[in-house]
Structure 1
Amino acid sequence: MHEPSLSPSHLAVKPEIVAFFDEPTNTISYIVKDPASNACAVIDSVMDIDYAAGRITFGGADRIIAHIRDKGWELEWLIETHVHADHLSAGPYIQKELGGKLAIGENITVVQETFGKIFNEGTGFQRDGSQFDRLFNDGDSYRIGTMGVRVLHTPGHTPACMTHVVGDAAFVGDTLFMPDGGSARADFPGGDARTLYRSIQRILSLPGETRLFMCHDYGPNGRDIQWETTVAEEREHNIHIGKGISEDEFVKMREARDAMLAVPRLIIPSLQVNMRAGQLPPADESGGTFLKVPVNIL
């Protein structure tokens, strides 16, 4: 793996960041704007679903679209930090309205292979990541306007998790939570607590002043929802990984905690949609679209 290193000039770049909190899924989506141009990216967008009614809507995505249009910004990228199991991506919907390239980590192919079997998708479902415009490898880079972005492979929660470092900011997906929230679960297919520990160490090796942006927050102990912290704060105060907790201590804690957690409420629709880059499954001969429910498998 490439070890992260940032030059002082890189840290001097401070992207403009606009956060959108989706209360039903406790997800934070972001617009990341280049301060030197009108270019921007959207990270971890949310498509709304009323699961009981089988109804898809786009209120949250429409707010992101409206903000970008109102500001006169130009969308260049739609980034998924990983294949989410707790919300559906609105990437294709936003892309249709504003353009931009849809991207995820290259290990989407591992996720597609795993869940393609679980959902019995057959040979018609492509497992090569071709639903996305770009697949990132560890250490890859791209640009949002004039800003350089580096991509770190940070698996453990899922095989495809990536952290995106943009100037003095890093978007960590579900790898880390706020310091009082700890870390993400590692018990999904392809997850691993020991791998997660090592990925977190990569993030914590970034400069202490690096701003970290979470994909989720649940307001532990009744506090207000938060999504921004720093590497230094996580090193010192994270309840699962701070103050030099050893790898073995973390793995023991994480595995015991994961064994007590319930399955995410939206895992079944989320995985089927997100492994397709946010697209719904193909319609059948009658024109209807359906999601599958695997029984006693997940």
Structure 2
Amino acid sequence: MVVSQPPNVESIFEPNTGTWQYIVSDAVTNDAVVIDSVLDYEASTNAIGNANAERLLTLIKERGYNIVAILETHAHADHLTAARYLQQRLLRRGKPSPPICIGKRIAQVQHTFAIKYGVPEAEYAGAFDRLLDDDDDIRIGRLHCKVLHLPGHTPDHIGYVIGHNVFVGDSLFLPDVGSARCDFPGGDARTLFRSVTEKLYALPDHYRIFVGHDYPPGVNVKGDRTEPRAFATVAEQRRDNKHIRGGVNESEFIAWRTERDATLAEPRLMHQSLQFNIRGGRLPEASEHGHRFLHLPLKVSDEVWDWGFAPQG
């Protein structure tokens, strides 16, 4: 009788955006996947950097991992994906590059934000190598990775179940942080509630829910945690999650989440991230002068913005 070994999970925290990145591998074959990688971005200079991505590549090389896929849970609105950069750096002579994978509903998200930001269709069509359907299976050596549709935060959002672990992106955070916002286009609080309660909380109690972000509360007199944590069990989430736990009904959550979302500022890197990520991590096409551009909307109050320009002619 062959006893299957559990997957090995490497959790890598990117502190500038509070993002958890994961490398999940088969201990027998060393085949592995990367989940929700981060590319550096400095807003003050509009500079893209690769330091974090290179740290991932160093870890991959040191462990001897064979990356078979680069997985995204959704089109992130708070960081730039390193998926395309990693794919190019992992290209080896005579072997196919690992495909960049995302949920099939990304087409809806791409269309929405391409219109908003004026992204040409040619720059996002075919940006991902594989569009994943519900219950699709990705082989990682001897492991099976099952795709789980988790809409609510965004319509394209998916999770990945590997062994007794589920990687949920931004659909659920740690118990003391709560749940994701639902006010992005296509987001819906009722849908998120059902994704969590009917899908994630239906998993066995001992399954580990690995989150996409963590925001440690910092030093305080109560002695609460000050270091980022990557997961909580299903039982812990169901019992302790401050937004969605046993005893909180759907209508209560919808009312609270809707009121809360109305007060939230937009993510710091939202405009840059969405334009970059719907392209699958590819750079915008260079202009005739060699520059690459992202569009940033100006917020102007018509009531106070009157420069007195007179009509010409």
TM-score normalised to the size of structure 2? 0.88
1:75 aligns with 2:72: no
What do the CA deviations read for 1:220-272 (whole angstroms, capped 9, x no partner)?
Answer: 36432111111111011111111231111110111111111111000011000
- State the partner residue of 2:106: 108
Distance 1:296 1:114 in 2: 20
How far apart are residue 296 of structure 1 and its match? 4.4
1:236 aligns with 2:239: yes
How far apart are residue 13 of structure 1 and its match? 4.9
SS across alignment from 1:28: strand
Residue pair 1:118, 1:294 contacting (<8 A) in 2 also: no
How far apart are residue 71 of structure 1 and its match? 1.4
- State the partner residue of 1:194: 190
Distance 1:17 1:124 in 2: 36
CA RMSD of aligned residues (A): 1.7
What number of residue pairs does the alignment pair up? 286
Residue pair 1:116, 1:125 contacting (<8 A) in 2 also: no
What do the CA deviations read for 1:85-143 (whole angstroms, capped 9, x no partner)?
Answer: 0000001111111131100000110100100110022444445xx11110011111111
Unmatched tracts of structure 1, length 5 or more: 1-8
Unmatched tracts of structure 2, length 5 or more: 91-96, 220-224, 301-313
Residue pair 1:136, 1:151 contacting (<8 A) in 2 also: yes
- Which of 286, 290, 294 is 1:291 aligned to? 294
- Which of 143, 158, 172 is 2:168 aligned to? 172
What do the CA deviations read for 1:54-104 (whole angstroms, capped 9, x no partner)?
Answer: 111111111110011111110111000010000000011111111311000
1:1-298 matches, cutoff 5 A: 13-98=5-90, 99-127=97-125, 130-201=126-197, 202-220=199-217, 222=219, 223=225, 224-296=227-299
Q: Which amino acid aligns with 2:172?
A: L
Q: How many percent of aligned residue pairs carry the same amino acid?
A: 44
CA spacing shift, 1:68–1:284, aligned 2, 3 Å = same
SS across alignment from 2:81: coil
What do the CA deviations read for 1:160-210 (whole angstroms, capped 9, x no partner)?
Answer: 100100001100000000011110000011111011101112111111111
Distance 1:288 1:247 in 2: 48
Q: Which has the larger radius of gyration?
A: 2
Distance 1:295 1:119 in 2: 12
CA spacing shift, 1:126–1:56, aligned 2, 3 Å = closer
Distance 2:28 2:250 in 1: 41
TM-score normalised to the size of structure 1? 0.92
